[in-house]
């Protein structure tokens, strides 16, 4: 089977495709090409995985007025032409789309070539790019049952709730390796605090304001984002990193609790690991509200904690205490959608 995967711009649209590629490789027999943005993170990730990559131009889809919308609109026809050439040359059985604005020209090109498309939405509320892609898709896969309320009646017959694709590799961490990597004490609890792939100034500020109090009880691993390290802070029991790739699974394994943004990928991973979690979703002014909606589902289901709105460092500290001492619902489950999605993809094998 020949398959093209698309989706990108940010890690949230790419990491689920990594899970799908891992599963395709495990089963064997699939030839994969990735078509993504020329400027997104996907090129580097695919290069590291040894997956052939073709970059296309794409215009960002904004929900608000901006002169950039006119400039980016001109990139879409170019992107469709480039994607058309890539699809025509590779001749895939199917295109699997994870959304993001790069997916739109690829999915439209697939439609022009009568190549079936399977789309997946990770968040509770679909992004604008996926709303467009859904109309050209043979199958629409969702992570959340709640997303059905955002789908038009005419498209419901295409919908299946699969769960979110999660990398098996991220679930196989070793706490001993994590302790050796960080040099932290095995006998004291560890909290991992991360602000998403690009970091988060608000969370970083809270950590630094609360650090002395936090270190009285916990050890802290802090993923601050690129360029966000505070080189003046050197404290026993505190480790800060810009970004962690391969070691992250071992840091997860050694951490009793995680403070995270509300991206669906991270939340599904943490749910499968049965971690205690404090979610600090992106605010409404910085997003379309998808992280808040994601967080609310997991708070209801797992008994996790959430902080949103105008919050202070003191609230941050108190809520960490509450979340750490709170008993989560370990009987609640989420679906790792990887296997089910690959089963759906295989239905389109010629």
CATH architecture of 169-325: 3-Layer(aba) Sandwich (3.40)
Token code pair at residue 303 = 């008994």
CATH match for 2-164+336-346 among 3.40.50.2000, 3.40.50.300, 3.30.70.920, 1.10.8.620: 3.40.50.2000
Is pLDDT of 199 > 60? Answer: no
Domains in the chain: boundaries = 2-164+336-346, 169-325
Token code pair at residue 335 = 């679906």
336 in Cβ contact with 272 (< 8 Å): yes
pLDDT, one tens digit per residue, over 154-170 is: 999 999 999 999 999 99
Q: Tell me whether strands 2-6 and 305-306 are parallel, antiparallel or unpaired.
A: unpaired
**Mean pLDDT rounded to a whole number for the chain:** 92
Strand order in the sheet with 2-6: 53-56, 31-37, 2-6, 94-97, 117-121, 139-142, 159-161
- Where are any strands of DSSP class E within the chain? 2-6, 31-37, 53-56, 94-97, 117-121, 139-142, 159-161, 190-194, 219-223, 238-241, 257-260, 276-279, 305-306
pLDDT at 139: 98
pLDDT, one tens digit per residue, over 68-100 is: 655 666 767 899 999 999 999 999 999 999 999
Sign of CA dihedral 107, 110, 112, 115: negative
3-12, 41-50, 57-66, 153-162: segment of lowest average pLDDT: 57-66
Cβ-based neighbours of 106, under 8 Å, separated by 6 or more = 4, 6, 35, 56, 79, 83, 87, 95, 97
pLDDT at 47: 96
4-13, 129-138, 186-195, 296-305: segment of lowest average pLDDT: 4-13
Is pLDDT of 197 > 80? Answer: no
Sign of CA dihedral 105, 111, 112, 114: positive
pLDDT at 273: 96
Q: How confident is the model at residue 63 (pLDDT cuts 50, 70, 90)?
A: low
For residue 99, the surrounding DSSP H or E stretch is none
Is pLDDT of 337 > 70? Answer: yes
Cβ-based neighbours of 333, under 8 Å, separated by 6 or more = 271
Cβ-based neighbours of 186, under 8 Å, separated by 6 or more = 175, 176, 179
> Does residue 85 sit in helix, strand or coil?
helix
> Does residue 100 sit in helix, strand or coil?
coil
Of the spans 40-49, 63-72, 82-91, which averages the highest pLDDT? 82-91
Q: How confident is the model at residue 289 (pLDDT cuts 50, 70, 90)?
A: confident
Q: Tell me whether strands 2-6 and 31-37 are parallel, antiparallel or unpaired.
A: parallel
Give the mean pLDDT of 206-223. Answer: 97
39 in Cβ contact with 57 (< 8 Å): no
Fold agreement between 2-164+336-346 and 169-325: yes
């Amino acid at each position: 089977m020949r398959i093209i995967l698309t989706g990108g711009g940010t890690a949230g649209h790419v990491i689920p495709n990594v899970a799908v590629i891992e599963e395709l490789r495990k089963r064997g027999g699939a030839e994969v090409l990735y078509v993504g943005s020329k400027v997104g993170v996907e090129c580097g990730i695919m290069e590291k995985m040894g997956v052939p990559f073709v970059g296309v131009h794409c215009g960002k889809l904004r929900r608000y007025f901006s002169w950039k919308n006119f400039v980016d609109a001109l990139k879409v026809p170019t992107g469709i032409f480039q994607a058309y050439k890539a699809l025509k040359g590779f001749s895939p059985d199917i295109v699997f789309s994870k959304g993001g604005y790069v997916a739109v020209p690829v999915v439209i090109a697939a439609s022009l070539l009568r190549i079936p498309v399977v789309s997946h939405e990770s968040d509770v509320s679909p992004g604008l790019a996926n709303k467009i892609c859904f109309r050209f898709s043979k199958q629409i896969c969702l992570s959340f049952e709640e997303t059905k309320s955002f789908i038009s009646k005419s498209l419901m017959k295409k919908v299946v709730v699969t769960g979110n694709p999660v990398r098996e590799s991220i679930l196989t961490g070793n706490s001993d390796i994590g302790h050796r990597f960080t040099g932290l004490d095995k006998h004291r609890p560890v909290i991992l605090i991360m602000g998403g792939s690009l970091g988060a100034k608000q969370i970083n500020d809270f950590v630094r304001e609360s650090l002395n109090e936090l270190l009285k009880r916990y050890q802290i691993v802090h993923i601050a984002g690129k360029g966000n390290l505070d080189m003046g802070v050197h404290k026993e029991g505190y480790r800060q990193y810009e970004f962690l790739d391969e070691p992250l699974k071992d840091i997860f394994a050694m951490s009793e609790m995680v403070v995270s943004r509300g991206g669906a990928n991270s939340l599904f991973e943490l749910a499968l690991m049965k971690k205690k979690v404090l979610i600090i979703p992106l605010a409404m002014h910085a997003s379309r509200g998808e992280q808040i909606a994601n967080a609310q589902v997991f708070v209801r289901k797992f008994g996790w904690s959430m902080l949103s709105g105008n919050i202070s460092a003191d609230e941050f500290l108190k809520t960490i205490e509450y979340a750490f001492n709170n008993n989560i619902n370990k009987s609640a489950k989420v679906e790792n959608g990887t296997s089910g999605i690959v089963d759906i993809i295989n239905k389109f094998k010629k």
